[in-house]
Structure 1
Amino acid sequence: MTLRWTKSAISALALAVASALPAQADVTIGYLAALSGAQADMTGEASLHAVRMAIEDFGGEVNGEKIEVLVADHLGKPDVGLGTAREWVDEKNVNLMFNVDNSAVALAVSDLIRDKNVTMMMGASNVKLINESCGPHQSMMLLDTSALARAVTLPQVEAGGDKWFFITVDYSLGHDLQAQATKAIEGAGGQVVGSVIHSPQTTDFSSFLLEAMNSGASNIGMATFGAWQNTISKQAQEFGVTASLSPFYLAITDIHSAGLDTLQNVTGTIQFYWDQNDDTRAFATRFQEGYSRPPTFTNAYAYEFTTHYLNAVKATGGTDADAIQTWLQDNPMPLINGATATIRPDGYTLRDVYSYRTKTPAESSGDWDFLEITGTVAADQIAPSLEDSACPLVTGG
């Protein structure tokens, strides 16, 4: 018997097969981040929660298409992060590479996606990422190291803190941050009187602190973060260090871990503080419905940038990286605190930051009430100049 297939039968069969297959996401976010190690508490699972909040606010889809999130830990290792990113790009059709909160990993992934139809929003801040390693589809969510260095050091040098000693983590980020801070300090008339490099395995900083005390430093610049920063602060208290501790990446999780009494009258700058105004407090309340604490500044920018990306997908009608990046740069990004930010052609995000001091235990009204916002540092006061940029997208090179 001859078997004849009609067009309607073939269509019905195709429909049946398609309906039997698992639904495929048309918007795929690859969340590549520090999910373990010293940095994990500040970003990690908490920033992933913020990403999912933004997706939930879109109803889990955009333009009628499902949004999927892939998750992986880069372990702070460029080869691990690059391997995951390559798999996601080549096999999972990822549209957005998100967080990438390690400078060495971000530099590797930046090279990978340069000619790919993939957007990257990165929580790394190495100055190379907006200069020679800038890319046509990438945005920097943090301040770059040069802007952060100026924001933290210049007010303190002007106030008399003109002798600096650095304790620096042996990561690309640490070395870059110390170099940018040194440039800012010396440009303002201060000096760097010494520095030490600590490995990721360091747990005892006592010899480093003694060296800092003997150097006559007025400020100890902590070009490090997370658990290392907390340990330095605790041990400085034990040794009676009188020099001002000057952290570059102080989050409320660090203060909670080290204890507010350990971090007294520390000053710095921050992109977001949960108790800044009614808008930030409302967001913090929502955030805590699914997480055990208020959001850090890194969690806040995870929500802000995810929302900005999804708005770009909605507005452009798809995930084409060229169209997305143009939209991201042409449209101001709403921030949780009611302000807005803009993304430049080199990927740098222009946004105001906020100066703070840590409260005394007596001033604190309770758990997580750690900071007093003391002023605003305008974005254009600290942003790197586009005239000095080495980014080919700016220079035309």
Structure 2
Amino acid sequence: MSHFERPSSPALLPSSARRRLVLGATGAAALGLAAPALVRAQAEAFTLGHLTPRTGFLGPMGEYAVMGATLAVEEVNAAGGVLGRPFKLMSEDSVNPQTASSKAQRMVERDKVFALVGEISSASGLAISQVAARAGKLFFQTGCNSDELRGKTCSRTMFHTEANNSMYVNAMGRALLRDNMVKGKRWMAFTADYAFGHDLFARTKAFMEANGAVFVSNDLVPTDTTEFSSLILKIRQQKPDLVMSNLAGNQTTNFMKQYNEFNLPIPLAGADLNCVSIWGAGREGFSGVWPIIWTHQVKAPSAQAFVAAFNKRFGKPPENQAVSDYLAVKIIARAMNETKSDDLNKLIAYLESGVKFDVLRAREGSFRKADHQLLFEMYTVTPNPDKNAGKWDVMTTSAPVPGPNESLEILQPQDNTCTFA
């Protein structure tokens, strides 16, 4: 008998069990606890441990992650909760991998969280996934791009609602080739000097070399860099045919702004971008062609309903990071309600079954059984030529990539090495 089931009548119990039931009820009633205790037990919340950067160069995205998860929890609870119980969100700043690991461990041991959600830094995401695997907890990572998290460091208990680096690179590369945006083959790169950036450059280099391009240089940039004039002068000296950014967070905003100030006649592209970077750069600073997982301009009906709800709740449109965390919470809730279970193995089997989810795009998405990557359409963004567009619409969002008649698998890496323990 599961802990969600109760016998229809005490008469169906053995005599000893009936006696214990009567004595227990009598004792509880004497203390005035009987009915209220049962109500409290049934209403006890499923707590989600939400870890994401709230400070540092990834902090602006982390704030949207918290808003997205908060809205999802509120909607789940307004619809009746999960298995008759509400969701509760416990959000904290993950700061760095060591802090992320210790906070995840504390959430599991002290706070008894049902699942872990969040993160943006791939190094921190790996640390959290290891805690989750040891504890037998679901971990929905919502912002880590590293292909390695879906490859040699994959985990059976980890699922990904953020795109991997290959998806970003392939979406951007297909757009460059499709629209013949670059005339020459000499490319120059700037890469964030941590796990995410290194992995992104490796994927970018592989794609470009496969299509005849050559990187003449690749500068590794510390994550706390805010001044790029010396690097931009190097661009002027080397005269590449394309400048490729593999930067991250508010690094990208600062780089775009300063690049435009130098007014170089060299195209700029990138392999990763978030709406906060576009909005931070503004009309005068945003340039180039970039891949992105989602923007508030996506026309799918469910996307626009989400935009309206987010605007009403927070007074501004959602950023792409908000979508990843929102979807993670909603998918966990649906999995529990449809399986009528909080059992880890049943939930993993359900998520691996190919079931389709509304992912706020024209096409539904599903998780790949091989590595637990959520498959979905992506987009590219370029500057909006309409100078009268509002501050939230300084970019234009492309049609979905891949096209409507192409498989979503096109964007996935071809060298996946994931083997679940």
CA gap 1:291/1:326 in 2 versus in 1, 3 angstroms: same
The corresponding residue for 1:374 is 398
Q: Give the drift of 1:361.
A: 4.7
Deviation at 1:219, TM superposition (A): 2.0
Q: How does 1:180-219 map to 2 (within 5 A)?
A: 180-219=203-242
Deviations 1:259-316 (Å, cap 9, x if unpaired)? 112223x222222121221623332121011223211122122222211110001112
The aligned residue for residue 392 of structure 1 is 419
TM superposition shift of 1:177: 0.6
Q: Secondary structure at the match of 1:253?
A: helix
The aligned counterpart of 1:314 is 337
CA distance in 1, matches of 2:398, 2:109: 47
- Counterpart for residue 54 of structure 2: 35
- The equivalent of 2:115 in structure 1 is 96
CA distance in 1 between partners of 2:283 and 2:207 (Å): 29
Map Cα deviations across residues 312-338 of structure 1 (whole Å, 9 max, x no partner): 011122322221122123211112234
Equivalent AA in structure 2 for residue 147 of structure 1: M
- Asked if 1:126 is matched to 2:146, the reply is yes
1:146 aligns with 2:166: yes
For the structure 1 residues 199 and 12, does the alpha-carbon distance in structure 2 shift closer, same or farther, using more than 3 Å as the test?
Answer: same
Q: Which residue of 1 aligns with 2:276?
A: 253
Q: Deviations over 1:94-116 (max 9, x none)?
A: 22211121100111122222243
Normalising by structure 2, report the TM-score: 0.85
Q: Residues 235, 320 of structure 1: CA spacing in aligned structure 2 closer, same or farther, 3 A cutoff? A: same
CA 1:213/1:292 → structure 2, altered by over 3 Å: closer, same or farther?
farther
Shift of 1:213: 2.6
Mapping for residues 1-397 of structure 1, pairs under 5 Å: 7-12=24-29, 16=33, 19=36, 25-42=44-61, 44-59=62-77, 61-75=81-95, 77-122=96-141, 123-156=143-176, 159=180, 160=182, 162-264=185-287, 266-277=288-299, 279=301, 280-330=303-353, 331-345=355-369, 346-362=371-387, 364-378=388-402, 379-385=408-414, 388-393=415-420
Question: How many residues matched?
Answer: 384
Q: What are the Cα deviations for residues 62-101 of structure 1, in whole angstroms up to 9, with x where unaligned?
A: 11112111111111x1100000011111222222211121
Counterpart-to-counterpart distance in 2, 1:326 and 1:347: 11
CA distance in 2, matches of 1:313, 1:6: 34
Once the two structures are TM-superposed, the CA of residue 52 in structure 1 deviates from its matched residue by: 2.1
CA distance in 1, matches of 2:400, 2:32: 58
Which TM-score applies when normalising by structure 1?
A: 0.89
Matched residue SS, 1:232: helix
Separation of aligned partners in 2, 1:235 and 1:168: 16
Answer yes or no: is the 8 Å Cα contact 2:168–2:272 preserved in 1.
no
Instruction: Give the partner amino acid of 1:51.
Output: A
In 1, Cα distance between equivalents of 2:234 and 2:35: 68
- Cα distance change on mapping 1:6 and 1:268 into 2, 3 Å: closer
The whole-number CA distance in structure 1 between the counterparts of 2:100 and 2:377 is 31
RMSD of equivalent CA atoms: 2.4
For the 8 Å contact 2:282–2:391, the answer to whether it is kept is no
How far apart are residue 340 of structure 1 and its match? 0.7
Asked if structure 2 preserves the Cα contact closer than 8 Å seen for 1:356 and 1:375, the reply is no
Compute the displacement of 1:223 (Å): 1.1
The one-letter code matched in structure 1 to 2:295 is: Y
Contact kept, 8 Å, 1:110 with 1:133, in 2: the verdict is no
- In structure 1, what is the Cα distance between the partners aligned to 2:300 and 2:416? 37
Could you say if the C-alpha distance between residues 360 and 271 of structure 1 is closer, same or farther in structure 2, counting changes exceeding 3 Å? same
Moved more, 147-156 or 327-336: 147-156
Mapped partners of 2:346, 2:394: distance in 1: 41
CA distance in 2, matches of 1:17, 1:183: 65
Cα distance in 2 for residues equivalent to 1:259 and 1:225: 17
Report if aligned partners of 2:274, 2:320 keep a CA contact under 8 Å in 1: yes
Give 3-state SS (helix, strand or coil) of 2:153's partner: coil
Q: Which has the higher strand share?
A: 1
Q: 1:350 deviation in Å?
A: 1.3
Tell me, yes or no, if the aligned pair for 1:51 and 1:303 is still in contact at 8 Å.
Answer: yes
Q: Which amino acid aligns with 1:208?
A: L
State the shift of 1:226 in Å: 2.3
Q: 1:16 and 1:263 mapped to 2: Cα distance?
A: 62
SS at match of 2:50: strand
Unpaired runs of at least 5, structure 2: 1-21, 403-407
User: Are 1:309 and 1:328, in contact at CA under 8 Å, matched by a contact in 2?
Assistant: no
The code of the aligned residue for 1:390 comes to: T
Question: Which deviates the most, 120-129 or 347-356?
Answer: 347-356
- Distance in 1 (CA, whole Å) between partners of 2:327 and 2:308 is 16
Residue 392 of structure 2 aligns to a residue whose secondary structure is coil
